[in-house]
């Protein structure tokens, strides 16, 4: 399911407000998100603290698959790994914040909400998933292969491009 949350555009130079009318289709949302993510080495993983239920965020190296799934690795010691074991529902932010100083209107954001699953090294698909991660980030794959590979199975992906008020949403079922 794809939906766009209409939003009112900011006033133009003439002071007139309008409503964004262009709807991106599912494949376009996913391919645009993948293109944005390809240029970013890491993203922000948000989990729920296992000990007290408060939010916890951390930076992780990742790969966004064309399906909307996110691959990332960890070992068993970090707080976010313990958090995902207790509460696997997570949120993941990918953005290009480095553009803000030069052109903040080009600031793109992708938020992916879903469930983090550990991918066992015994699973038949493990080598292929690790290879995908290595293609984007060799160092992430090295750390992951000596630790744990996680796959974020998306429930929702939200793409917000630049100064456009539209939130382009893909719902996964």
Q: So what's the pLDDT on residue 1?
A: 56
As a whole number of angstroms, the distance between CA 160 and CA 111 comes to: 9
Q: What is the DSSP letter of 122?
A: T
Q: What angle do CA 95, 99, 101 make, to 5 degrees?
A: 130
Q: What is the pLDDT of residue 16?
A: 37
Cα 63 to chain center, whole Å?
Answer: 9
Q: Report pLDDT for 52.
A: 95
The answer to whether 77 and 85 have CB atoms below 8 angstroms apart is no
Q: Where are the beta strands (DSSP E) in 29-100?
A: 42-48, 55-64, 70-74, 89-95
Q: What is the pTM of this model?
A: 0.85
Sequence spans of domains, the chain: 2-8+20-171
Three-class SS state of 173 = coil
Asked whether the CA dihedral 134, 106, 22, 92 is positive or negative, the reply is positive
What is the model's pLDDT at position 104? Answer: 86
User: What pLDDT is attached to residue 173?
Assistant: 83
Q: What is the pLDDT along the chain (173 residues), one digit of tens a residue?
A: 554 443 333 443 434 344 444 689 999 999 999 999 999 999 999 999 999 999 999 999 999 999 999 999 999 899 999 999 999 999 999 999 999 899 988 999 999 999 999 999 999 999 999 999 999 999 999 989 899 999 999 999 999 998 888 899 999 98
Asked if CATH classification 3.30.70.260 holds for the domain at 2-8+20-171, the reply, yes or no, is: no
CA dihedral 14, 20, 21, 26 (to 10 degrees): 150
């Amino acid at each position: 399911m794809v939906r766009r949350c209409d939003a009112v555009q900011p006033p133009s130079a003439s002071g007139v407000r309008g409503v964004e009318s262009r709807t991106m289709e599912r494949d376009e949302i996913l391919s645009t998100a993948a293109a944005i993510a390809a240029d970013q080495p890491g993203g922000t993983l948000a989990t729920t603290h296992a000990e007290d239920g408060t939010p916890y965020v951390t930076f992780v190296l990742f790969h966004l698959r064309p399906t909307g799934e996110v691959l990332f690795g960890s070992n068993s010691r970090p707080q976010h790994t313990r958090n995902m074991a207790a509460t696997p529902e997570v949120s993941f932010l990918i953005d290009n914040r480095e553009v803000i100083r030069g052109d903040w209107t080009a600031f793109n954001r992708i938020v992916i909400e879903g469930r983090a699953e550990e991918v066992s090294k015994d699973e038949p698909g493990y080598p292929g998933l690790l290879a995908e991660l290595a293609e984007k980030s060799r160092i992430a794959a090295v750390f992951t292969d000596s630790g744990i590979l996680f796959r974020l199975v998306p429930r929702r992906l939200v793409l917000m491009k630049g100064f456009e008020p539209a939130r382009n949403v893909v719902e996964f079922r």
